[in-house]
Amino acid sequence: MNHLTRTILCAAWVAVPGIGAAQNLDLNVSGGSDDLRSELKDAMSLYALVDAEDATPQALIAAAQADYARIVAALYGGGRFSPTVSITVDGREAAGISPFEAPQSINTILIEVDPGPRFRYGRAEIAPLAEGTEIPPEFRTGERAGTAPIRDAVSAGVTGWRTVGHAKARLEDQQIVADHPNRELDVRLRLAPGPQLRFGDVVVTGNDRVRRTRIREIAGLPQGEVFDPQEIADAERRLRDTGVFSSVAVSEADTPNTDGTLDLALQVAEQKPRRFGFGAEVSTQEGGKVSAFWLHRNLFQGAERLRVEGEVSGIGTDTDEMDYALTLTYGRPATFTPDTEFYLTAGIERLNEPGFTSNQASVIAGLSHRFSDQLTASFGLGYRYLDTEDAFGEREFQLLLATFGATYDTRNNSLNPSSGYYLSATSTPFLGLDETENGIRVTSDARAYFGFGAEDRFVLAGRAQIGSVWGPSLEDTVPDYLFYSGGGGTVRGVPYQSLGVTLDNDAFTGGQSFAAVSAELRAKVRDNIGLVGFYDAGMITEESGFGGDSDWHAGAGFGLRYNTGIGPIRVDIATPVTGDGAGKDYELYIGIGQAF
């Protein structure tokens, strides 16, 4: 016990000088491994200061004196609770050198450390605990002792109480005793849960253009309900997701109110309300695509978004005409519930696809709801008008439609995932007007990612897509509700939308059912350079539910990835592995983000 007391006192007041003109800085660790030596060097300030050109003897002595505590703290963290530390400056113990008596120059600083043996927990007790609290398994009798498991145990205990409403739970008392003969550390921790509290007033500050009432609505903090730290995290996330604020922070009052409520301070900083941007992609078959948008983040001072986007694609292809689209999207967060957004989308579009051309206009309004960090769903009602020309001639279509969609996403990164999976499904029942037939179109997309090797150096990625349209005949189906395969997003290496249905008169159109699979092996060769090998296959059938005539094709290739702060730049080259062009024809794809 006396040994431990001396060590703690030593760590509190002893210090090491700096080197100014020091020629040598040596660290000797008795019986220590290279890893321990490296860990101690990282903990010390002397090693960083000694290389500085302007380091003075006074600064080096101050750093050396502070390094006593840093070394002891690092050793305690590793479960060594009986160390001895000596730091000498030209033969004098640094702890005994007054800052006012620093030498004019320093030649040698010697650090000698005897780390001592590792300790284990003799006792590891923490109480009281809220029901369901899980203490880290490292904090148990017989486990290797260290300061980190103690901190983690306290954090878990306090968090457990806060989760059930005890916002001011804290560590009330701790008894930590080192038993040196038995090399054990006895730890007893006592928590003070405090009273269960309810959410009180929310005071909003920092807003400039966004109304405070709307900020409270979006945050969704349930005033009067039992305190829950997850509600605070959700409120911050909701406000950040609007894109209106550059920073969001919720802080708790130091003292609860007498009525058992706890007030919160919600501080925000707003971004500039307007923004514009542009993007570009290119492939040898689909040609170039350029897009630009203008965004207003706070249209009516309630964090409403208005986005106007234009796109031109098919640039540089063999066809005479390009595709054009102009879309207007309005979004209002916190409609009906804090996690529900109202959206309204209207657009006009000119499409020149291999199987058809169309001029169309559409409008759709609906709600999108976030059920959890992984699950979102949406519902909408809309109208579409199309003037088309395809294998069946020139026609007009008018539809009233409903849209249902759901997405479940556990990927660790949406642009460059190495783990998790992504599942999405859509269902679009439609009611035809005039001569347009009724029906339903469904699609699904499933992706999975498995990283392996050191730091997930390799990633195996897979994707499966299916879709089908029921109700109308092939001839009476809206042309862009039919399915095609080929090109980026389906099968790389084959011409864009080259697989469909060939009619008896040799005319080409899409099919009523579609399936595709893709597999990629991604490898990181340097910090920001990666290589990818991939294989894609797709199938189209003439009738709903994969009935009727069918055909399939496949492509394979490799790619280069250059990782940037916003996602990898993707360059892929692919060739067909079926048909006459196998190994002869090649397609190039360039974009941002992984292929899927």
pLDDT at 373 over 60: yes
Q: What is the pLDDT of residues 118-134, one digit of tens each?
A: 999 999 999 999 999 99
Confidence of residue 286 (pLDDT cuts 50, 70, 90): low
pLDDT at 151: 96
Q: How far apart are CA 596 and CA 588, in angstroms?
A: 16
Q: What is the pLDDT of residues 148-195, one digit of tens each?
A: 999 999 999 999 999 999 999 999 999 999 999 999 999 999 999 999
pLDDT at 345: 98
- Beta bridge mates, 485: 499
Confidence of residue 10 (pLDDT cuts 50, 70, 90): very low
Q: Tokens in use for 162?
A: 């806060």
pLDDT at 520: 98
Q: Tokens in use for 180?
A: 């040196």
SS3 489: coil
pLDDT at 16 over 70: no
Q: What is the pLDDT of residues 291-304, one digit of tens each?
A: 999 999 999 999 99
Q: What is the pLDDT of residues 488-526, one digit of tens each?
A: 899 999 988 899 999 888 889 999 999 999 999 999 998
What backbone phi and psi angles, to 5 degrees, belong to 155? -60, -45
pLDDT at 584: 80
pLDDT at 35 over 60: yes
pLDDT at 313: 86
pLDDT at 320: 63
Choose between 11 and 254: higher pLDDT.
254
pTM of the model: 0.81
pLDDT at 4 over 90: no
Q: How far apart are CA 378 and CA 345, in angstroms?
A: 13
SS3 229: helix
Handedness of CA 466, 470, 475, 477 (dihedral sign): negative
Q: What is the pLDDT of residues 535-566, one digit of tens each?
A: 999 999 999 989 888 899 999 999 999 998 77
pLDDT at 5 over 80: no
Residue 540 contacts residue 514 (beta carbons within 8 Å): yes
Residue 108 contacts residue 28 (beta carbons within 8 Å): no
Confidence of residue 467 (pLDDT cuts 50, 70, 90): very high
DSSP 8-state code for residue 53: T
Residue 544 contacts residue 513 (beta carbons within 8 Å): yes
With a CB cutoff of 8 Å and minimum separation 6, the contacts of 90 are 103, 106, 107, 108
pLDDT at 283: 61
> What are the chain's domains?
2-114 (no CATH), 120-192 (3.10.20.310), 198-270 (3.10.20.310), 274-592 (2.40.160.50)
Q: How far apart are CA 178 and CA 116, in angstroms?
A: 13
Q: How far apart are CA 554 and CA 579, in angstroms?
A: 9
Q: What is the pLDDT of residues 194-249, one digit of tens each?
A: 999 999 999 999 999 999 999 999 999 999 999 999 999 999 999 999 999 999 99
